[in-house]
């Protein structure tokens, strides 16, 4: 088995995680969370979202959070921006990195953003150009790559042109999302085999949700295909809007535990992650979905 020696983990808990939690964290707690994540060794942390505050109330205070966190050198702090207004807010907040997002399927994109995939592809080039002109880096999320709650199966032939168009706009990476956590290692392998005939592995990241318990297995399939960037959320935050009580994103603690055990470096301090997990568990008054953290109940650092 040929595996990479080093992997980059993009911590999406403060955004993708918290946006799907019913309980809202205070700005103080978010700042504390992000500052602790910064000290854990991540090179990329997604801190929030500049969508309309009434659409995602848990992230309505992203400006405030962005201005109050302690930004450490060498860390890419980013936030989601859906449009020019969101980009302007990201600029005011002093962010140097933003992410655009769309779905691989039209029905999900319509439901999620009120526009078709064609409309998204038509409006994003200008937005990306504006961001690049501001000196920002731009990442793209492509959701429902491995399955859609409305359209079902998604074929890689449907995904490739979207990935190519996003890259052509100037985004540095496209994160391929299993948004509803329906994929499996063989499907991940097949999708990547197709995409990698046309796109370099370092232009792709993988974003797995653990809704049905397949996320880490899917990561392994991605590693075997040469992918070296993975999104994850501390404590497996994120839930699933279609399945109350279900797991969310792949837990960062479990991912780091697995990678380190396989001699794959991440630069991340696992004990510190467990400590953050305990802090968040207290805030949420429930155990968060990390198997590894459950094995370290007493750890405090
Ligand atoms: Zn996600």
Query: What confidence tens digit (pLDDT) does each residue in 151-182 have?
Result: 999 999 999 999 999 999 999 999 999 999 99
Q: What is the reported pTM?
A: 0.96
On whether residue 196 sits in a domain, the answer given is yes
Summarize pLDDT for 104-151 with one digit per residue, the tens: 999 999 998 999 999 999 999 999 999 999 999 999 999 999 999 999
Residue 135 included in any domain: yes
Residue 27 DSSP label: H
Cα 292 → chain centroid: 20
- Positive or negative torsion for Cα 216, 217, 222, 227: positive
Q: What is the dihedral of CA 247, 249, 250, 252, to 10 degrees?
A: -120
Tell me the CA–centroid distance for residue 179 and ligand 1, in Å: 5
pLDDT for residue 150: 93
Whether residue 240 lies in the annotated active site: yes
Indicate whether 247 belongs to any domain.
yes
Report the pLDDT value the prediction gives residue 55, as an integer from 0 to 100: 87
> 245's torsion region: left (phi>0), alpha (psi -120 to 50) or beta?
left
* Residue 3 within a domain: no
Of 240, 273, 280, 289, catalytic: 240
> Would 229 be classed as within a structural domain?
yes
CA 215 – ligand 1 centroid, Å? 12
What CATH number is attached to the domain comprising 95?
A: 3.20.20.70
Q: Which domain holds residue 182?
A: 8-295
In a domain, 300, yes or no: no
Q: How far is the CA of 229 from the centre of ligand 1 (A)?
A: 14
| C-beta separation of 78 from 50 below 8 A | no
Task: Tell me how far the alpha carbon of residue 201 lies from the centroid of ligand 1, in angstroms.
Answer: 20
Strand ranges inside 97-136, DSSP E: 97-103
Q: Given this model, what pLDDT does residue 246 score?
A: 67
Number of domains the chain contains:
1
**Model pLDDT, residue 266:** 98
φ, ψ at 183 (rounded to 5°) = -80, 180
CA of 115 to the centre of ligand 1 (A): 19
Tokens coding 190: 């097949």
Residues surrounding ion ligand 1 at CB below 5 Å: 16
pLDDT in tens, the chain (301 residues): 889 999 999 999 999 999 888 888 999 999 999 999 999 999 999 999 999 888 888 899 999 999 999 999 999 999 999 999 999 999 999 999 999 999 999 999 999 899 999 999 999 999 999 999 999 999 999 999 999 999 999 999 999 999 999 999 999 999 999 999 999 999 999 999 999 999 999 999 999 999 999 999 999 999 999 999 999 999 999 876 656 666 799 999 999 999 999 999 999 999 999 999 999 999 988 888 899 998 988 766 5
What is the structure's pLDDT at 244?
60
Cα 3 to averaged position of ligand 1 atoms, centre (Å): 24
pLDDT value for 92: 95
In a domain, 1, yes or no: no
**Contact partners, residue 92, CB within 8 Å, separation at least 6:** 63
Question: Domain for residue 301, yes or no?
Answer: no
pLDDT value at position 53?
87
Query: Which tokens belong to 36?
Result: 């602790």
**Three state DSSP letters for 167-222:** HHHCCCEEEEEECCCCCCHHHHHHHHHHHCCCCCHHHEEEEEECCCCCHHHHHHHH
21 by DSSP, 3-state: which?
Answer: coil
> What span, in angstroms and rounded, lies between the C-alpha atoms of 147 and 94?
35
């Amino acid at each position: 088995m040929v595996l990479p020696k080093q992997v980059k983990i993009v911590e999406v808990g403060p955004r993708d995680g918290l946006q799907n939690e019913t309980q809202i964290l205070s700005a103080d707690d978010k700042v504390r969370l992000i500052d602790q994540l910064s000290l854990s060794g991540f090179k990329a942390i997604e801190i929030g979202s500049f969508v309309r505050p009434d659409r995602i109330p848990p992230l309505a205070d992203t400006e405030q959070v962005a201005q109050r966190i302690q930004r450490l050198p060498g860390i890419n702090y980013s936030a989601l921006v859906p449009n020019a207004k969101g980009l302007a807010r990201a600029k005011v907040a002093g962010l140097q990195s933003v992410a655009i997002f769309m779905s691989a399927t039209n029905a999900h994109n319509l439901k999620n953003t009120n526009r078709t995939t064609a409309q998204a592809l038509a409006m994003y080039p200008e937005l990306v150009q504006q961001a690049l002109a501001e000196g920002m880096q731009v990442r793209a999320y492509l959701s429902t790559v491995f399955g859609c709650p409305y359209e079902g199966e998604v074929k890689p032939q449907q995904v490739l042109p979207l990935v190519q168009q996003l890259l052509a706009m100037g985004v540095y990476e496209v994160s391929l999302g299993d948004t509803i956590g329906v994929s499996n290692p063989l499907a991940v392998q097949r999708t990547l085999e197709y995409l990698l005939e046309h796109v370099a592995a370092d232009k792709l990241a993988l974003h797995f949700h653990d809704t049905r318990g397949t996320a880490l297995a899917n990561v392994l399939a991605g590693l075997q295909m040469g992918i070296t960037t993975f999104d994850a959320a501390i404590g497996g935050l994120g839930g699933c809007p279609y399945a109350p009580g279900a797991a969310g994103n792949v837990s960062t603690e479990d991912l780091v535990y697995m990678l380190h055990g396989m001699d794959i470096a991440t630069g991340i301090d696992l004990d510190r992650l467990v400590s953050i997990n305990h802090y968040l568990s207290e805030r949420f008054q429930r155990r968060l979905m990390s198997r590894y953290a459950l094995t370290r109940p007493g750890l405090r650092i």
